Structure 1
Amino acid sequence: MRKKELLVKYILGILSTKERQLLDLWMKESPNNALYLEKLKKRNYSERYQEYKRSHRNFSVRQSGWKHVLVQAACWTIPVLVAFSLYLGLRSDKEIQIEPGTSKAILYLDPTTKIELGNSKEFEWIRLNRLDMVAEKQGILDYHQTSSRQDIHQNNLLETPRGGEYRVILEDGTRIHLNSQSTLSYPVCFEADNRTVELTGEAYFEVAKDPKRPFMVKVNGVTVRQYGTKFSINARSPQNTMIVLEEGSIGMISPDEDVRMLNAGDVAVWDRVHSTISITAPESFEAYVAWHRSRFVFDDQSLGEIMENLSLWYDMNVQFEDEALSKIHFTGSVGRYENVNILLNAIEATSSVKFHIDEHQITVMNKY
């Protein structure tokens, strides 16, 4: 067993008798080893572990069933706190840190006029048609009860880069959380008979109720229609668009006007190539909407999928030294605003994978 795992298990109080003997031998090798262990104990890791334990957040790995994946995966589940401990005390202080994304976006008032938005704590107004119409503060763009009093026939476009997110409140009160590398096109003022927006990328919608005006999202050739509910749309793939309905019901309208209805808890996938809509009702859809609630939740996801999601949020590039490593599956949860090293360390501690970070390039390699 590696020294890292021995130290972490000692801190968490889960050493076996054999492991304790190995740790004692290591401590006898040098007086500095005992001093180092005492230093770790003083950081009060046990209290952090209890906090994570109460939240029941675990991180585990399983070996893929693919024949060509020759990876020896660890057989035990380690709480995410293991990664937290490694991150704080067991990794080099000189290790490159890749920070999480922040609230930032570009607002296009028209094709030639753009405004860079950030996470300023100061309240600011954005002028439309020579009037102060849009309020912007702390990562939220607010059109509600400002532009609704004006008859402005104009579309705006909100664009988030890699490593960015932004929230917007439309003039009807609908709230939209735009994930990284996504765009949302919407009118400053909705029409009298409908509320239509267009999306690329990923977003979470909390639609204001209006029984007289359907809210419609046009995305990848399909239209989502409803009158007031909560749902998320992931349209990152050019072929498959995923819609997850959290409350109420919505209708999905294909280009040939075929309408499929979704109920709360349903997950629908629009296959643009084959023009088909498939609907399932999983036991839990937390993994699909966790990003909106400031977490990453992976439910038996491949490392390739995990790293693709992380690359967008942490604005980093990922390369697999061995493509077989991308097929290993993980289950776990970690905060979305944590340093990426926390998650990477959790994966390293529970598998035969290791990561090399060079500025914003992460290389995934075999550990052994």
Structure 2
Amino acid sequence: MKNIDSIVTLLKQYMGGEISPANSPELQRLIEQYPVIIDIMKEVKDEESLRKSLSNYILYTQKELLQFEDSIIAQIHARHPSPASYRQTVHKSLWKPLLTAAAAIIFVLLTGYWLWNTSPSSNREHTSEMHTIAPGSNRATLTFSDGKTIVLQGDKSGIKINNDISYQDGTIVLSDQQEKITDRSMLLTTPRGGQYFVELSDGSKVWLNAESSLQYPAEFSGPTREVKLVGEAYFEVKSNAKKPFIVTTNTERVQVLGTHFNINSYSDVDLSRVTLSEGKVRVAPLGNRTNTQILTPNSQAVIKGNTIEKITVNADEYIAWKNGEFMFNNESLSSVLQKLSRWYDFDYSIAPALQDLKIWGSISKYENFDKVLRIIKITDKKIKLNIKGKKVIIMEDK
């Protein structure tokens, strides 16, 4: 692959009208292989943005994707941070057609309205059906040990547990005068298509992903701070060396003093992942607590049954959901669909031959679902989509 300066110079000359496909064989090859580059260049005007985007692409993708004869792969990657804990991103890229179907790449263009608006109407299949599938939102219920359940407000992003239970803006959900809260155990539950935040009584913060639940006491009165998780959550634990924070799932036990980490432990997945972004944690399978692993930042414990393996990862990929996006790095199409279906709340079926297509890229969690499906469709020419209500059927077009 040519160096970044050469690529930026080529694209800048094209955008400035200094060269054209007719007098630049290299540009001609680029456009022939990737026709959508014309639309991309119409939107990108800043040289520094090009340079930064190409640098980010090289840092993000794996080495083998950068080695390809004399073609050029360009990824235009622009981030637009938003306030609070959720940010939306725009990732625009091209894919390498020389890869086999088993290693196909989604070149993610979500959040980029320009591409969808300039695409032919023939590509917009099943539009009416896709409007029935929408991104998730802040949705959750709070259930007490006596069975009482409160439906939490969707226009609020989270709750705080103190003497009272309140939303983050201070609005009271339930006061200690109304109910004896400090004596209660609570279960925060999100449905498919839901997410919610809770600040626990010790000041620890938990972001709960879709189709998940977190059980915790109103007050940590014992020698430890223990909670139980089903599904996925990101934790920022308040440091307290005298009172360890312990998270148990159906498969593992995680012990910390004060740290930031993510746990993905859904009951319909045969393995669980604990990913550390800051601090240090000790992880052990529930059925074999002597088999422990100590995690440091950018390491991950993969638990399956009574086995545990520690691997090195990019923690940002595994906590991206908490910041308002999905990031996929060499992930199978079946795994990607499983995550998307929880957030967008749809059912799906996928042809066996397509399940292992590999996906790279990033999408905003708040993107319209029609654009999500269009990206899936262009991953491989063999993909054929059929939408029936909230059921997505991915078939092999033979």
- Place the TM-score, normalised by the shorter chain, in its bin: 0.7 to 0.9
> What root-mean-square deviation, in Å, do the aligned CA atoms of Structure 1 and Structure 2 show?
3.9
Q: 8 Å contact 1:104–1:119 — kept in the other structure?
A: yes
State the Cα distance separating 1:86 from its structure 2 match: 4.5
**SS of residue in 2 equivalent to 1:189:** coil
Distance 2:118 2:250 in 1: 46
Alignment-derived partner of residue 8 in structure 2: none
The amino acid across from 1:345 in the alignment is R
Distance 2:239 2:109 in 1: 39
The amino acid across from 1:87 in the alignment is W
**SS of residue in 1 equivalent to 2:154:** coil
State the Cα distance separating 1:54 from its structure 2 match: 3.9
Q: Counterparts of 1:59-70 in structure 2 under 5 Å? A: 59=93, 60=95, 62-65=99-102
Identity across aligned pairs (percent)? Answer: 28
Q: Counterparts of 1:26-37 in structure 2 under 5 Å? A: none
Distance 2:202 2:304 in 1: 31
2:144 matched to 1:109?
yes
2:296 matched to 1:263?
yes
Alignment-derived partner of residue 52 in structure 2: none
Alignment-derived partner of residue 288 in structure 1: 318
The amino acid across from 1:218 in the alignment is T
Partner of residue 173 from structure 1, selected from 188, 196, 203: 203
1:156/1:241 CA distance change after superposition, 3 Å: same
Alignment-derived partner of residue 235 in structure 2: 205
State the Cα distance separating 1:240 from its structure 2 match: 1.5
**SS of residue in 1 equivalent to 2:232:** strand
State the Cα distance separating 1:270 from its structure 2 match: 1.5
2:170 matched to 1:133?
no
2:370 matched to 1:336?
no
Q: 8 Å contact 1:119–1:138 — kept in the other structure?
A: no
Distance 2:264 2:100 in 1: 27
Distance 1:122 1:217 in 2: 23
**SS of residue in 2 equivalent to 1:279:** strand
State the Cα distance separating 1:136 from its structure 2 match: 2.0
1:214/1:360 CA distance change after superposition, 3 Å: same
Residues 245-279 of structure 1: CA deviation (Å, up to 9, x unaligned): 0011111134443132111111101222xx12110
Alignment-derived partner of residue 352 in structure 2: 323
The amino acid across from 2:232 in the alignment is E
**SS of residue in 2 equivalent to 1:246:** strand
Alignment-derived partner of residue 63 in structure 2: none
Residues 133-180 of structure 1: CA deviation (Å, up to 9, x unaligned): 10025799999x989xx8823210011100001100000011000001
1:247/1:146 CA distance change after superposition, 3 Å: farther
State the Cα distance separating 1:99 from its structure 2 match: 1.2
**SS of residue in 2 equivalent to 1:57:** strand
Size of the alignment, in residue pairs? 318
Partner of residue 310 from structure 2, selected from 279, 295, 302: 279
The amino acid across from 1:201 in the alignment is G
Alignment-derived partner of residue 7 in structure 1: none
Distance 2:299 2:380 in 1: 33
The amino acid across from 1:340 in the alignment is F
TM-score by length of 1: 0.74
2:276 matched to 1:241?
no
1:364/1:168 CA distance change after superposition, 3 Å: same
1:138/1:119 CA distance change after superposition, 3 Å: farther
Alignment-derived partner of residue 130 in structure 2: 96
State the Cα distance separating 1:365 from its structure 2 match: 2.4
Q: 8 Å contact 2:140–2:191 — kept in the other structure?
A: yes
Alignment-derived partner of residue 359 in structure 1: 389
Q: 8 Å contact 1:141–1:167 — kept in the other structure?
A: no
Distance 1:337 1:157 in 2: 26
Alignment-derived partner of residue 24 in structure 1: none
Structure 1: gaps of 5 or more residues:
1-11, 21-40, 67-72
Residues 207-251 of structure 1: CA deviation (Å, up to 9, x unaligned): 011111000001124210011110000001553211000011111
Q: Counterparts of 1:180-219 in structure 2 under 5 Å? A: 180-219=210-249
